[in-house]
Amino acid sequence: MSIWTDDAVFKPSPKLELVGRKALEEWRTTANAARRKSNGPPRRHWNSSLIITPTPEGAKGRNYWLLMDVSGKEPRILASGIHDDRFVKTANGWRIKARIDYNDPGE
């Protein structure tokens, strides 16, 4: 969770917006527990084509992402989309201030 600012905003879907690192930690803990309880497959995120552009506040970034099921011989794509990020430089280095996910259709 150290990649986020304390007041970060994460919008993983049009219906969900999380504000603050504490809310992100709680959401992540709950989501991981639910996946383990349902015996969901092991998953891996893959990001590509990252573009970072300077802004007056820090930087903005955009990249494609895939979420894959890696339980079988061949990985299987579960979901895909785009991350739009806003970065700021803090005393502890660069952190994500905001992330909006745009999921590809079919999810």
Contact 3, 95 (CB under 8 A): yes
pLDDT given at position 85: 98
pLDDT given at position 10: 96
Alpha-carbon gap, residue 96 to 102, rounded angstroms: 17
pLDDT tens track, the chain, 107 positions: 899 999 999 999 889 999 999 999 999 888 777 777 777 788 899 999 999 999 999 999 999 999 999 999 999 999 999 999 999 999 999 999 999 999 998 75
Per-residue pLDDT reduced to its tens digit, 25-35: 999 888 777 77
Paired tokens of 16: 């969900």
* Domains in the chain with CATH codes: 4-103 (3.10.450.50)
Alpha-carbon gap, residue 24 to 1, rounded angstroms: 8
Helix residue ranges per DSSP H, the chain: 21-37
